[in-house]
Amino acid sequence: MVSAGETAVKLMGVAKRYADIVAVDYVDLDVRHGEILGLLGPNGSGKSTTLKMILGLIKPDSGSVNVLSINAEDDPVAVKRKVGYVPESPRLYEFLTGLEYLDFVGDIYGLDASEKKARIEEYLEAMELEGREGDMISSYSEGMKQKIALISAFLHKPRLLLLDEPLSGLDPRSARIVKDLLRKLTAQGVTTIMSTHILEIAQAMCDRIAIMYEGRLLALGNMKELRQKARLPGSDLEDIFLKLTGTEDIREVVEALLK
Amino acid sequence: MNWKNVLRLVSVDVKSGRLIRGQRLRRYRERRIFQYLLYGGACVLGIMVGLGAGIFYTAVPDPELKTLFDQGARYLFLSLPTMVLILSLVFTMMGQIQRAGVRSSIQPPYWLPITWEEHTLASTLAHLIGVPLAFIILLSSFIATFSIFLKELPLATLAIFALLASAFLASTTTEIFRVLQVRLIGAVYKSSGKAAVWVRFLGSLLFLIAFYVVWFSLTSGGSSIVLIKMVASAQQAVWFVPYVWLGAALASFMNGLLAQTVIFSLASLLFILVLFYVAVKLNTRFGLYEPPAITVSRGAYVPRVGFLGKLGFSSLEAAVIRKDFKAFTRRRELMYIFIMPIVFILMPLMQYSGMLGRPVEMEPSRFLLAWILLAPGAIMVVMLGLMIIGEEGGSVWLFFSSPITARSLVKCKYAFVTIFSCIVTLVCGVIGILVARPSLDIAIALLIESMLLIFALGVVSLGAGIRGADFTEVPRPRMVRPLTAFVYTILCLVLALAIFSPLLLHAVTMEYIPIPVSLPKIDLYVAVSISAVIALVVTFVFYRIALKNAEEFLLKAEI
């Protein structure tokens, strides 16, 4: 039994390059059990690559990734059994119905029939997809597809959730449901690492925030620690983010656009 | 109409080919020299064939033969517009079927200031880009060159114009078909409810069979000549059908009927304009039409405990097999796989029954039986094996993120391709046995041989399908890298021959295949046993390779 505060995910000197592009630049990161860690950063800052390396989808060029006491490189299948993952813009099997897709995912994770049925029905109701579960996914809106992807990540009760922009495409009500669900899962000891562009979401939901920029980890901590690091007492996450990433002076850009 | 917009839209469609050509997409630089290689090659080939035919025509000393040649060439010129129409229809419609699964391939960017006329014209022209246009260039350059020797330059000029108009006519028809099928199929789904999946499956199957039969009839050797003659004479009989007016205009010109030539040409032009107008109107009405949702299941959800579990498959493996079955019966771009075995039975049977313009054979041969029993299953397993991983497309992330092992991946995919191909073989076997009525020994031997081919070639092609998987989906799903598919298809052919060689040797020694020397006889069951040993060795070796490929595939999940 692990207790809150112990390390769930440990990245040590992890780096990844794609030809001449540095996607992740020697990142060290400890994620504690039962916390929600937000990965924050502009486009191309290495958030998605970091998440994929934690899951073992991408092999780091150097460094090591330890997930729930398992080395992701040594036993990626064992890691995947314990992790729920939602990629950025998930592609689902559009020829299946929502129900068939979830049934398929439940079987992939080896859930028994009664458990699978109970969980699928529970989540479909929670995500307000009842009545559409028998339709082919090809007719779903982007938000509905995102809900199906989220349910498929929650279905097998993972101990670690890796969510890449989990609230993208969701309406405010559904977004609220997902936020509440994540908080409840956190209370049950589930660790969540989520990437987001939306600073308000990160500030409202995450216990700690890791700010990434050009593959590097610029800062890590809760709001208080980030304010101290940025030397911006009383400021919000937007100001901290812009200062730490060195992109605070956007006035020139706006003026150039208005010309 | 803004012509620049039309050209811009066509060029967007042409550029979508970059994704399937698999060129380096970062720091992309267009290499225009290669872009036009296809058309340049077609033009050069057409000129060379035209020159060859012309030189041969001039060298013919016999005036009777020359007249015959002259007449043949005229027949060809006359039938070409209708032939090009049919071929362009086949090409453009096949292109549409391949793109069926991709909504975004050439979606009208409706938020941009582009009119439906511009979009429809661009879409119509874009259908012709690639192989159809190369084919038209080849024919046109051939006609132009050959007509110099025939001294028929005015007829050739008119024929080339007719070719271009025919291709446009076909493409406009395809555009109308494309819009209509979205609307009509949507309406059918709406009314057929739960049965929509099967309505779509059977409807697409019938449509594809019809098209492939036309295609094979056109491209199968001697029957083309029969068709040219038939088309040339038939278009005079059905002059009231607007699609043959271009050919009728040519026939009138050849017979010196100037007034009729002008009438048919103007009528053709009017028909093209009417069709284009209809296409524009349909696009305006249904261009952004979203087909209704297909409801497959209603009522309470009851998880199925399938019989696959009883066969030794884990829940994960059984789930993948069930998912693949649904993919091949629900995804229109994958349905063409079912056509191959049907066509491979239909074609020899049509040939046997004299439907392709050949004399009817008195007795179905052993080769016909062997072909029907062995070919469909073997071809099916190779095709399925090569595409079974790549067909996952962008959804493959689920495989990479789920706890699937290499062994499970190979097991469930191998099971799917072999089970499916065995069913095909059994169905084809029943038809073959009913038609050819072989002895029990021969029938059993061929069925065993077919199963051996399926199990051996299945694992060879699966290994290749894993190694060469291509998840590109736009503008059409590619599924496997062309070079891998080519190399492994050749390898499968060689291995199939190796597995089948003992039975071939049996056929030779039993003098089913006549040879000048007499060889000691090889017993049928000995031959089948040797085949089985070869197949087992192939299966074992390539299973290890497939497993290794799967391990690498799951580790290198950098999509």
Contacts of B129 (CB under 8 A, 6+ apart): B10, B13, B14
- Within an 8 Å CB–CB cutoff, is residue B555 touching chain A? yes
- Please check whether residue A246 lies inside any domain of the structure: no
The confidence score (pLDDT) of residue B190 equals 62
Report the distance separating Cα B496 and Cα B461, nearest Å.
12
| Minimum-distance CB partner of B315 among A91, A107, A135 | A107
Q: What CATH number did the domain enclosing A148 receive? A: 3.40.50.300
Higher pLDDT pick, B7 / B213: B7
Judge contact between A244 and A209, C-beta under 8 A.
no
- Is A237 part of any domain? no
- Side chain identity at A46, as an amino acid letter? G
The predicted pLDDT at position B70 comes to 80
Rounded-to-integer distance, Cα B231 and Cα B224, Å: 10
- Per-residue pLDDT of chain A in tens (259 residues, 90 and over written 9): 455 568 899 999 999 988 778 889 999 999 999 999 999 888 888 999 999 899 888 888 999 999 998 887 788 888 889 999 999 888 898 888 899 899 999 988 988 888 999 999 999 998 888 888 888 888 888 899 999 999 999 999 999 999 998 988 888 888 888 999 999 999 999 999 999 888 888 888 899 999 998 899 988 988 888 888 877 777 778 888 887 777 666 666 667 766 6
From A103's Cα to the closest Cα of chain B, the distance in A is 7
Structure tokens at B533: 């040993």
pLDDT (tens digit per residue) in B28-75: 666 666 667 888 999 999 999 999 988 988 888 888 888 887 877 777
Question: What's residue B559's pLDDT?
Answer: 44
Q: Is B339 helix (H, G, I), strand (E, B) or coil?
A: helix
Kindly report the nearest CA distance between residue A225 and chain B, in angstroms.
Answer: 33
User: Residue A25 to residues A44, A64, A88, A141, A246: CA-CA distances in angstroms?
Assistant: 12, 13, 21, 37, 18
Report d(CA B410, CA A25) in Å as an integer: 36
C-alpha to C-alpha distances, B183 to B187, B189, B342, B511, nearest whole angstrom: 6, 10, 28, 59
Residue A142 domain-assigned (yes or no): yes
Cβ(B507)–Cβ(B59) below 8 Å:
no
Give chain A's end-to-end CA distance (angstroms, integer).
61
Q: How far is A20 from chain B (nearest CA, A)?
A: 11
pLDDT above 90 (res B113): no
Which of B301, B323, B558 has the CB atom closest to A120's CB atom? B301
Interface of chain A against chain B, CB under 8 Å? 19, 55, 57-59, 76-78, 80-81, 83, 85, 87, 90-93, 95-97, 99-100, 103-111, 113-114, 116-117, 120-121, 132-136, 138-139, 152
Decide if B558 and A135 are in contact by the 8 Å CB cutoff: no
The C-alpha atoms of residue B178 and residue B75 are separated, in whole angstroms, by 33
A8 phi and psi, to 5 degrees? -100, -40
Instruction: Give B404's contacts in chain A (Cβ within 8 Å).
Output: 77, 108
Q: Please indicate whether, in this complex, the C-beta atoms of B397 and A91 are within 8 angstroms of each other.
A: yes
B439: buried, middle or exposed (CB in 10 Å: 19+, 13-18, 0-12)? exposed
Lowest mean pLDDT among B316-320, B339-343, B388-392, B445-449: B339-343
Q: Which residues of A touch B403 (CB under 8 A)?
A: 77-78, 80-81, 108-109
B400-429 residue pLDDT tens: 888 899 999 999 999 999 998 999 888 888
Whole-angstrom distance between the N-terminal and C-terminal Cα of chain B?
Answer: 42
Q: What percent of chain B clears pLDDT 90, i.e. is strictly above it?
A: 27
Model-level pTM? 0.75
Q: What is the pLDDT of residue A95?
A: 83
Q: Which of A57, A96, A106 sits opposite B401 (nearest CB)?
A: A57
* Closest CB from B292, B298, B303 relative to A134: B298
Between B204 and B173, residue with greater pLDDT: B173
Does the pLDDT at position B105 exceed 50? no
Inter-chain touch A87–B303, beta carbons under 8 Å: no
- Contacts B554 to A, Cβ<8 Å: 76
Q: Of A80, A91, A138, which is closest to B395 when you measure between CB atoms?
A: A91
Q: In chain B, positions 375-414, which contact chain A (CB-CB < 8 Å)?
A: 393-395, 397-398, 400-405
Query: Which residues 320-379 of B are in CB contact (within 8 Å) with A?
Result: 320, 322-323, 326-327, 330-331
Distance from the A224 Cα atom to the nearest Cα atom in chain B, whole angstroms? 35
Reading the block at residue B394, the tokens are 């962008």
Using CB atoms, pick whichever of A59, A85, A91 lies closest to residue B394. Answer: A91
Side-chain half-sphere of B63: how many Cα atoms within 13 Å? 0
- B72 Cβ partners below 8 Å, 6+ apart? none
The reply to whether residue A110 touches residue B402, judged by beta carbons under 8 angstroms, is no
In a domain, residue A251? The reply is: no
- Give the percent of chain B with pLDDT over 70: 77
Which chain B residue is nearest to residue A158, measuring alpha carbons?
A: B402
Higher pLDDT, B515 or B459: B459
| B104 — pLDDT class (breaks 50, 70, 90) | very low
- Whole-number pLDDT of residue B197: 65
Minimum CA–CA partner of B408 in chain A: A108
Whether residue B403 and residue A80 make contact (CB cut-off 8 A), yes or no, is yes
Interface of B with A in 259-318 (CB under 8 A): 290-298, 301-305, 314-316, 318
Does residue A255 lie in a domain region?
A: no
**What pLDDT does A164 receive?**
92
| B-chain residue closest to A116, CA distance | B303
Q: Which of B297, B315, B400 sits opposite A57 (nearest CB)?
A: B400
Range of the domain at A159: 7-221
Which pLDDT value is given to residue B430? 86
Separation of alpha carbons B543 and B552, rounded Å: 14
B192 touches chain A (CB under 8 A): no
> Are residues A108 and B303, on separate chains, in Cβ contact within 8 Å?
no
Instruction: List CB contacts of B548: < 8 A, sequence separation 6 or more.
Output: none
From the CA of B303, how many Å to the nearest CA of chain A? 6
SS (H, E, C) B120-185: HHHHHHHHHCCHHHHHHHHHHHHHHHHHHHHCCHHHHHHHHHHHHHHHHHHHHHHHHHHHHHHHHH
Q: What is the ipTM of this complex?
A: 0.79
Task: Please count the structural domains in chain A.
Answer: 1
- Nearest beta carbon to residue B402 from set A58, A80, A100: A80
Mean pLDDT of B519-538: 90
Contact B395 A132 (CB under 8 A): no
Of B294, B298, B314, the CB nearest to A139: B294
Q: What is the mean pLDDT of residues B510-532?
A: 81
pLDDT at B362 over 60: no
- Average pLDDT over all residues of chain B: 81
Q: CB-CB: which of B294, B305, B395 is closest to A92? A: B395
B477 touches chain A (CB under 8 A): no
Closest partner CB to A77 (pick from B304, B319, B403): B403
Residue predicted with more confidence, B220 or B541: B541
B314 neighbourhood in chain A, CB within 8 Å? 110
Chain B positions touching A116 (Cβ under 8 A) are 303
- Of A89, A100, A107, which to mutate for an interface test with B (greatest number of B Cβ within 10 Å)? A107
